[in-house]
Amino acid sequence: MDSQKQQQQRSSGSEMETMESRLAKQRASVKWLLSKAYNNRVPEFLKDPFYRDHEGLDHLKPQIVVGLGNASIYCQVLSNIYSDPNYQSLNHWSILQTLSRKGVPLNESPDLPLTETVLIQTNPLRINAHMTVIEAMMVLYAKEVASSGRISSALERISGRSTSQPAQHHEAALLGWVSHVCSALKRRIDYEQANGGGGGSGSGGGPAVDEYGQRLPSPDIPPLRDFRELCDGVCLAYLISYYCPKLVPWPSVHFNHVPTIEDSIHNILIVSNFSERNLPYSVFHMTPEDITYMRGAMKQNLVVLLADLFNVFEIHPAKCVCYPGMEQQQVTVTRSPSANTLRKHHSTRDVHDQQQQQMQPQQPYHQQPQYSQHQPQDQYQDSNEGFVVHRSKGVPTLSSMHEPLVPARIRQAKEKTNNDSKAEERGRHPTSHPAAEPDPGAGPASPAAHPRAANRKSAQPAIRLPAKHPTEHPRHVPAHQHSAVQF
């Protein structure tokens, strides 16, 4: 009887642990998916995707259930990754086909096949089927961010020599990047200690000592071979210390050849706090216990964490990235005007030519200020620059709706042939004049007599479409034209 009770307790404990592990993975995966769907600006009420009912059970919030059921969340993730609005109108089956064409395998369960009928169900939501799609999205994102070319360029910059490596899988490439960074950190610490700098904080401070006053040796970390070796948090913390030595000094990392649970949680807390406080947006969607205790289940979440760190450290360096030697490795280039700026500039160039006699002199077009290749940039301050892997067609936003709909050549031809007065444009008969308007027999009125009407006629171009385009409607006049119109 006692053995049966112990066996039942073990089975119930394992089931509870499995349920907690599954719920933790679902929470971390859904949080990552929402961050990419909302371009790393998740609304406050969705930052925790689960709510707890009166029975103490966790459930996905209704907004997320609806978004997964109609595939709108998946569409927005693909649209943000590739900056292509055509991905916003796909259904579940089209999304699965897109993932298959991108070379992303789907780990379909034999008990629950991935079909449109299964994925559209919301009462109840088939969360296991959606977890398969979410993991495929993670693989796609990591594959696009950590391409072989980008990893090779980063390794060449870190090592200072050309490295011709064959194309690798994105997981192996990310592990190789972390290993090279840890080796470069050791070389830098050895150099600082040999030259009297001590390497205590990465800023030329005193030597690093332990709690007993003994000098700390530089960390000697073997190359990574598996993602399970990241679960102690040592390599993740040293990775941050290499790129941000002033924020995370390397002596603050607890490194032991036989790590304890306390050391692992301490190191992972360094990564979590750094992500919350110093990055433009948080890339750490797990808890320290998730990485420490659930090594196999959280592998894909660790992969996308490395991909996000590679993005904010190498592809789009954040402001906090200031590793030593950065000033000597800067390569000054001239920033080219963006496609959106060029499109707006050329669409309004003809209007500027017609208005330059009446309006105030316009400032000539200047190029943007220069920036350095590895200098911290303000790209995360722009809503369209924080999370784009591939450039394609621009995703329509509220700011882009202010562009004129009429092409410049049509507006130019219309302006040349438009000789109607304002009264005729408003539909008034030329023989009937309000009391406020002058008599046409009294001669033409000078612009000085009616400066507001003269300025309105000269500064505001006619944007009416020809009759052969009855379905199109003019949009708002750009902001630079409103500044010249007087009301």
Number of other residues whose CB lies within 10 A of the CB of residue 282: 17
**Out of 142-151, 272-281, 471-480, least confident range:** 471-480
Which of 122, 144, 166 delimits the end of a domain?
144
Do 125 and 207 fall into the same domain?
no
| 378, 438 Cβ separation under 8 angstroms | no
CA-wise closest residue to 292 among 312, 273, 272? 272
pLDDT digits (tens, 9 = 90+) for 170-218: 999 999 999 999 999 999 998 888 887 655 554 445 566 655 556 777 8
CA-wise closest residue to 141 among 388, 395, 391, 392? 388
Do 137 and 157 fall into the same domain?
no
- Cα-to-chain-centroid distance, residue 438: 59
**Burial state string for 71-108 with b = 16 or more CB within 10 A and e = fewer than 16:** bebbbbbbbbbbbbeebeebebebbbebbeeeebeeee
Whether 264 is covered by a domain: the verdict is yes
SS3 59: strand
CA angle (54 as vertex; 51, 59 as ends), nearest 5: 30
Report the chain's C-alpha Rg in angstroms: 30
Do 180 and 115 fall into the same domain?
no
335, two tokens = 């920033």
Q: CA–CA separation, 246 vs 275, rounded Å?
A: 15
Q: CA–CA separation, 328 vs 324, rounded Å?
A: 9
Does position 393 have pLDDT exceeding 50, yes or no? no
Whether 343 is covered by a domain: the verdict is no
Overall size of the chain counted in residues: 487
Do 303 and 248 fall into the same domain?
yes
447, two tokens = 């612009």
SS3 103: coil
**Out of 243-252, 293-302, 337-346, least confident range:** 337-346
User: Residue with structure tokens 């394992």?
Assistant: 14
Do 221 and 301 fall into the same domain?
yes
Does position 454 have pLDDT exceeding 90, yes or no? no
pLDDT digits (tens, 9 = 90+) for 40-81: 999 999 999 999 998 888 999 999 999 999 999 999 999 999
CA angle (373 as vertex; 368, 375 as ends), nearest 5: 85
13, two tokens = 């404990």
Whether 172 is covered by a domain: the verdict is yes
Which of 144, 173, 198 delimits the end of a domain?
144
pLDDT at 179: 95
User: Residue with structure tokens 């595939």?
Assistant: 71
Whether 90 is covered by a domain: the verdict is yes
pLDDT at 437: 46
Average pLDDT, the chain: 73
Q: What is the phi/psi pair of residue 315, to 5°?
A: -75, -55
CA-wise closest residue to 421 among 407, 431, 413? 431
**Greatest CA span in the chain, whole angstroms?**
116
Within 395-462, residue ranges assigned H as helices are 408-417, 422-425, 451-459
Do 73 and 221 fall into the same domain?
no
Domain count, the chain: 2
- Cα-to-chain-centroid distance, residue 325: 27
Average the pLDDT over 14-22 and give the result: 69
Whether 449 is covered by a domain: the verdict is no
Q: In which domain, by residue range, is 76 found? A: 2-144
Neighbouring C-alpha atoms within 13 Å toward the C-beta of 461: 30
- Long-range own/partner contacts, residues 127-133 (CB < 8 A, 24 or more apart): 127/26, 127/60, 130/68, 131/25, 131/26, 131/29, 132/106, 132/107, 132/108, 133/74, 133/92, 133/95, 133/96, 133/99, 133/106
Do 11 and 65 fall into the same domain?
yes
Whether 210 is covered by a domain: the verdict is yes
Q: CA–CA separation, 442 vs 423, rounded Å?
A: 17
Kindly state the percentage of the chain with pLDDT values over 70: 58
Does position 294 have pLDDT exceeding 60, yes or no? yes
Whether 8 is covered by a domain: the verdict is yes
Neighbouring C-alpha atoms within 13 Å toward the C-beta of 337: 11
Do 83 and 196 fall into the same domain?
no
Q: Which residues contact 154 (CB under 8 A, 6 or more apart)?
A: 177, 310, 314
Do 185 and 157 fall into the same domain?
yes
User: Residue with structure tokens 């790590």?
Assistant: 259
Q: CA–CA separation, 66 vs 36, rounded Å?
A: 17
Which of 113, 144, 175 delimits the end of a domain?
144
Do 191 and 87 fall into the same domain?
no
Do 173 and 310 fall into the same domain?
yes
Do 194 and 132 fall into the same domain?
no
Does position 225 have pLDDT exceeding 50, yes or no? yes
Whether 115 is covered by a domain: the verdict is yes
Helix or strand holding residue 15 (H, E): helix 2-37
- Cα-to-chain-centroid distance, residue 434: 58
Q: What is the phi/psi pair of residue 339, to 5°?
A: -65, -35
